[in-house]
Structure 1
């Protein structure tokens, strides 16, 4: 922020404007320091889509991984400090990594959202149906769909999978 004063302005007004500008900057500086400190303490966020997985590197020496709400996300720890995070339901939960002695190594947020790029939602009153349009629209079960629709599409999917694997009963 710079102020250009005309050379005809009296000298005393220049000093006053400079003092007002400096005091404003000093008043705003603590707010910026607090905001920067808050951003540093904010946990890292892992963003994953429902029914998708994301590979995340664990901190060194991590022995235990805790998921706040396994209904939202699930983790599978692999070799070499790799973890696979799978989105199960919409929402936010947290992940905690501990070392062998139980010391906190890291904490992250996991944000699970819906795939919006290829899903078409049809709302009929209170009844919702979802279709996967990649590129042709086909029925697709999504969390939040009407129970009737979800059950019919889910039943067909289960039966088709059983037929394909030879496990039909």
Structure 2
């Protein structure tokens, strides 16, 4: 039986059904900071194990990794023949030396305190705090987009009030 299994594996490899193995490369990406990977050849297919942890965009042989949340996932890159040309183990971390997490019975609230402390949107924060901070981020983005298109500044919505610790 083992002899037949070996023959089958050799036949599959000779027919191109099995591609050469590509060594897995580990990369660490900081949350909220994209990373650039220069691929060895032009990719045809890119598969991301868990897009809620990291996602990608392609420009030729440039693969841009966009962290979405902390955790571990993988990215597999295939050529037009379906052969693996790259395999990455991606670890997304938070690495902000100015970050401050405040814990209370209601949960965690996270702030960035580079100069003054400002709330940041971080997975795992207290839901009310998270929603208020996300509302402010969204209102700021809409205001910036409106002004870039020549619109006038509008007052921030009432529901985007500053979250309190």
TM-score, normalised to structure 2's length? Answer: 0.70
- Deviation above 6 Å: which 4+ runs of structure 1? none
1:118 & 1:42 partners in 2: Cα distance? 36
Structure 1: runs of 5+ lacking an equivalent: 1-40
Residue 72 of structure 1: aligned partner: 53
Q: Is the 8 A contact 2:23 2:87 kept in 1?
A: no
Residues in 2 aligned to 1:165 and 1:104: alpha-carbon distance in whole angstroms:
40
Name whichever structure is richer in helix by fraction. 1
3-state SS of the aligned residue for 2:80? coil
Contact 1:59 1:97 in 2 (8 A): no
Counterpart contact for 2:98–2:114, Cα < 8 Å: yes
Please give the alpha-carbon distance, in whole angstroms, between the structure 1 residues aligned to 2:99 and 2:107: 16
Structure 2 residue corresponding to 1:120, chosen from 81, 100, 118: 100
1:78-106: CA deviations, max 9, x gaps? 13x11110100111111111111111222
* Residue 56 (1) aligns with residue 19 (2): no
Q: What pairs with 1:101-112 in structure 2 (closer than 5 Å)? A: 101-112=81-92
Aligned to 1:147: 127
C-alpha displacement at 1:126, in angstroms? 4.6
Report matched runs for 1:1-169 at 5 Å.
43-79=24-60, 81-166=61-146
Q: Tell me what 2:7 maps to.
A: none
Q: C-alpha displacement at 1:163, in angstroms?
A: 2.9
Post-superposition offset of 1:125: 2.2
What is the total number of aligned residue pairs between the two structures? 128
Q: 1:131 to 1:59 in 2, by over 3 A?
A: same
> Matched residues in 2 for 1:162 and 1:99: separation?
39
How far does the alpha carbon of each residue in 1:84-138 deviate from its partner, in whole angstroms, 9 at most, with x for none?
A: 1010011111111111111122211011011331210000125110100112211
Compute the displacement of 1:59 (Å).
2.4
**Larger Rg, first or second structure (1 or 2):** 1
TM-score, normalised by the number of residues in structure 1? 0.68
Change (3 A) 1:42 1:59: closer
